[in-house]
Structure 1
Amino acid sequence: MVSLSQISLKQLKEKLSLPKPWDNVIIFILNVLIAIPLFLIAHQNLIELPWAYNFDRVFLFIGIVVVIQLLLRLLKTIIVLCIFIYLLVLLYGTVFGEYGFQRVFEDYRYMIYAMSENPKPQDIIISKLLPFPNKSKIIDAVDYSNPKVRNFALSATTKHFKDIKYPESERLMVQCFAVFAEIKKRWNYVNDPKGREYIAYASESLQHFSGDCDDHAILMAACIKAVGGSPRLIHTGGHIYPEMLIGTQADLETAVYLIKQVLFVKESKNKDIHYHIDERGNIWLNLDYTATYPGGPFMKEEILGELTL
């Protein structure tokens, strides 16, 4: 004897299922929609293997699609409910969280572009780490809390890229790139007095935008720090240059896209993005005065010292 609850459950399943062949079409579409954000999350959190043509990512995507396809076929009697739950999750992420429809689209675009560009880290040549030269003086000279430095950094963010639309999560990166653009445009290289190492405060360099490599590095680091970025200085023996913290592999993909497709298109055309990866897996982008765009070529590869500010 069939109970009332069994009949109701059967009727519910019939209402939530789709007629053939639309059930297979919807399953395929839903598979792709679910697979893309899951693949992006896996791509950003799994180690990237040095395989040709990014085959490791191709196999990863295929594996995710196959697994989702099998699961959806098991749940095809309630496929309408699956669609509703999927849309509800993304809608919640869009309104209340950080990962919604817009973020999925942006991450997918950045990943595809970065994979086609295939950026690679610069080999770090370390002879022997030495004490950073004039460390205490340089730390004092990076006077990022000085009102002159802070005001200059703020003004740079209003002169460059202000009208470009970008997600809220990319604001800091774009503003740091604006600081780079303004200093790069105005910097004039001048040697120190003969026989003396002159270290100028960042607030002092703002007067004439002139000095040698360490003066430029100090000013760049102070301004990046003044707008909330994380800079560090690299000593290579006779040269000091600044780098800014980008973050993870996913953040690098965002940076590559912004530099080559949005902010520094002409300067970076057909050129590589240069960066270092530290012992914690953090990515640092070159901001040397010799580069015409963030991530330009390193002047010297040998590293003798590093100073995180």
Structure 2
Amino acid sequence: MVKQSNIDFQKIKEKLQVKKPWDSVIIFVLNILIAIPVFIIIHQNIIDPNWYFHIDRILLFLAVVVAIQLVLRLMKTIIILCIALYLIALIYGSLFGNYGFNSVFEDYRSMVYSMSEDPNPQDIIISKLLPFPNKSKILNAIEYDNPKVRNFALLATTKYFRNVKGYSEYRRQIQSFAVFKEIQSRWNYVSDPKGKEYIARATESLIHFSGDCDDHAILMAACVRAVGGTPRLIHTGGHIYPEVLIGNKTADLEAINYLIKEVLFKQESKGKEIHYHIDERGQIWLNLDYTATYPGGPFMSEEILGALTLN
């Protein structure tokens, strides 16, 4: 009985085996896919000896590839079976579900990109520091439920990024970025009347897209809120600028970083870092100031004195 079971097992094993040389090709491709993120993780956590031509990194990558190749070959039959089941699931997902080959590709690129291109964290700031100047006037000026503001925000979302696919969970953030792009491309900085602090309502700024920093921040916050985003205003003493909530560092920062740098603002952010603030709850906020050409652009180097969040 035991002998018959062994024979049956051998027959099943033979049927599952992939013929040469395809078994080696599959293992090698899987090796490279695993080796790249593993190498990046090790590379970021060891001291760089600064060898010529980065020979140390070349040797490190080769060592990672060899080690993974040995492990994969030892578990070849099980791994190929798992890959076959995985491919079947992806084919089904591509045809009938929401998660298929394209989703896997985008997730892998996002993961590798985020490992090699880390965003630049700023200081952790709390929601209530000092009394926010002109708070009541500013809140009244952020007319996010005004039809003119809402219609302008909708116009921006139909003009930019409407055809971006595969990021439905970040729809609000993407539409907030569309609002930023439209306002940033049209904004004209004009100072307040001499000796007077003038707070323009969002509907006023929509007429000429002109004003100073607080007028811009009010308009941006109103339009972001009008499409379901969560904005806040940062006060530095001599400047006020808007930020938008994108989520938390663990689940959302990598995806948003990839979206900005590789999909939405590829030219504007090329070779640059994504800057962000972290609040007391671990939430991530990106800069939407008119001085930045992409969400998460560099902050003006001034001390933060207060934050006003629109929930």
TM-score, length-scaled by structure 1: 0.75
What is residue 218 of structure 1 aligned with on the other side? Answer: 218
Aligned to 2:291: 290
The percent identity for this pair of structures is 67
Matched residue SS, 2:244: strand
Deviation, structure 1 residue 148? 0.8
Kindly tell me the number of residue pairs found equivalent between the two proteins.
Answer: 294
Rounded to whole Å, the distance in 1 between the matches of 2:116 and 2:77 is 39
Gaps of 5+ in 2: 49-59
Shift of 1:288: 0.8
**Equivalent-residue separation in structure 1 for 2:220 and 2:261 (angstroms):** 21
Q: In the alignment, what sits opposite 1:17?
A: 17
Question: In 2, distance between residues paired with 1:125 and 1:4?
Answer: 69
Range 143-152 or range 103-112, more displaced: 103-112
Using the TM superposition, give the Cα deviation of residue 155 of structure 1 relative to its aligned residue in structure 2, in angstroms.
0.7
Query: Distance in 1 between the 2:18 and 2:159 partners?
Result: 55
Between the aligned partners of 1:89 and 1:232, the Cα distance in structure 2 is 42
Q: Which one is further off, 258-267 or 299-308?
A: 258-267
Code of the residue aligned with 1:241 in structure 2: it is Y
Is the 8 Å Cα contact of residues 234 and 308 (structure 2) preserved in structure 1?
yes
2:282 aligned with 1:281: yes
**Equivalence for 1:167:** 166
Q: Which runs of 5+ in 1 are unaligned?
A: 54-58
Displacement of 1:194 = 4.2
1:232 aligns with 2:201: no
1:106-137 C-alpha deviation (Å, 9 max, x unpaired): 233234444444431234589x9212223333
Tell whether 2:161 aligns with 1:157: no
How far apart, CA to CA, are the structure 2 residues paired with 1:210 and 1:11? 77
Q: Does the CA-based 8 Å contact 1:273-1:296 persist in structure 2?
A: yes
Stretch moving more, 198-207 or 224-233: 198-207
Tell me the equivalent position of 1:244: 244
Partner of 2:26: 26
> 100-109 or 145-154, which moves further after superposition?
100-109
CA RMSD after TM alignment: 3.9
Q: In structure 1, what is the Cα distance between the partners aligned to 2:250 and 2:213?
A: 29
Letter in 1 for 2:83: I
Query: Which residue pairs with 1:56 in the alignment?
Result: none
> How does 1:128-277 map onto structure 2 within 5 Å?
129-162=129-162, 165-169=164-168, 170-247=170-247, 248=249, 251-277=252-278
Task: Pick which of 153-162 and 12-21 moved more.
Answer: 12-21
Shift of the alpha carbon at 1:229?
1.8
TM-score, normalized by length of structure 2? 0.75
Q: Aligned in 2, Cα 1:251/1:92: closer, same or farther, shift over 3 Å?
A: farther
Shift of 1:91: 3.9
State the SS of the aligned residue for 2:273: coil
Q: Does structure 2 retain, via aligned residues, the 8 Å contact 1:236–1:300?
A: no
Which residue of the partner structure matches residue 52 of structure 2? none
